[in-house]
Structure 1
Amino acid sequence: MDRYIALNAEQHQQLGWHGIDSLKFAAKTDTAPVLLEELPHLIPTMPVAFLELPSTDTAPARFEAVALLSLIPEHNLFVAPNGRWMGGYLPAALRAYPFRLLPRKDKEGLALCFDQTSGLLTDQPTEEQRFFKPDGEPSDKLNALLGFMQQCEAGRARTRQAVSLLAKHNLIKPWSLKLATEKGQNAQIKGIYRVDEAALNSLSAEALKELQEGQALALAYGQMLSQQRIKGFQKLYQLHTKLEEHAQSVSEEDVAEYFEGKDDTLSFNF
């Protein structure tokens, strides 16, 4: 069974979906792609970094801007054991679940697809839960979601262009990170990259102008400013351990300690 089904009125007229009430689906997500538009919301909350994506049959190797959600593989420190999001701002890449825009198999363009393994598909939807109206047009709720995802897709193209400019000027370098484990050892984290500040400061005025015009300069400074959030990962890890050991629900005080008492509850509209 394919995980994602491309939605269409002919096949899915009578179907719909349940809204999510938990972020447990993202509990093993340790990075999330980010958009330029999200930077002001991400910087106070979580570190931004770069990952190197391998080449494929259709695309060369490239870097991708991501939010770091953990330094522990498949362990999202921002999702509490009870599924609550602890990070204030929820990255756009996680907000469209269980939907994705994927390439169409039979023609060009992207299709709105649904993760049928999510457990959220229903064949007895309420009027509000339906994918499509009786006339076959997308429901208002589905239309709003599609509009959000299309804007994200446009933002993703701009972000990729900005990242490519940073790579063009050799500004993306390996980021050496270590994490203290329960045994007191330092685990070396590999495969993460950041902006080389010294290399950025040595660029010519012409190169800086190119970066500014392509929004890459904002991305570079945003990534560097966000690096301070790494120091809070150890607190989040300890909080997770506490919650798991004692089966506790996360409290506002526990979360505030990570965010240094600041109110980081943010909304973000494209």
Structure 2
Amino acid sequence: MMRTSPSPTLITLGRLVRRYRDAGSILQADLAKRLGYSDGWLSNVETGQLRPRREQVAAIEQALEVPPGVLLEVFNMLEGESLPGWMRDWLAEERRSSALRAFELAVVPGLLQTPDYARTVLDGDEAAVTARLDRQAILKSENPPTLRCVLDETVLTRGFGDAAVMRDQLEHLVNSVSPRLAVQIVPSGVRYEGLAGAFTIATVNGSDVAYIDTAVRGLVTSNPEDIACLIDVWESIRTFTLSQRESIELIKKVAEERWT
């Protein structure tokens, strides 16, 4: 198995955590206990071997009583270090969005993936898993965007991981539904325009920008013609979706009958 090179930014973050901990005369075991993690977990963070989640870095800042943002500013640099430019562009738009409309043909949208499902989709790349889970923080922010997801039924039946992983993922979809978050299903066997590929439309400051999946890379566009085309496709797909209630019933049925 090929080993990836250590992340310079992750090493810097770990050194800062240790420096502030030493400055406060706090033992590693004591800090780990305050955070609710093992000594080994904190040791891996301090040596740059483990990428913590955003909320964990914020908790470390609070436990060490350092000014808010000191460690998070370094943590934010990880995004630029590990992601291609087009993905960084999209994540910036995603964070600023007031509304998201997502269509997926093959997998659960990243914003709604469970850790184990994401881990399987990303082939066990823990740094990528952490980055994906960090994205989900926007759904729990003070002003979260509305999220409207339309999934082809194939998403529910294509296995990533074992039955337990899939069942937990489908249950998570059901439990995520709220007035601000919809998950609707296009039944299998229906032919519609969206079969050309997955996409997400974000509304940012009253304007729309889109992310389109391709076989080579993701494409971020705000071209008016592209946006108009995608909105037409979105509206066309929506005409084939089950209602929210029917979609939840289908998701539960697939979870019980296929993934138990």
TM-score in terms of structure 1 length: 0.24
**Richer in helix (by share):** 2
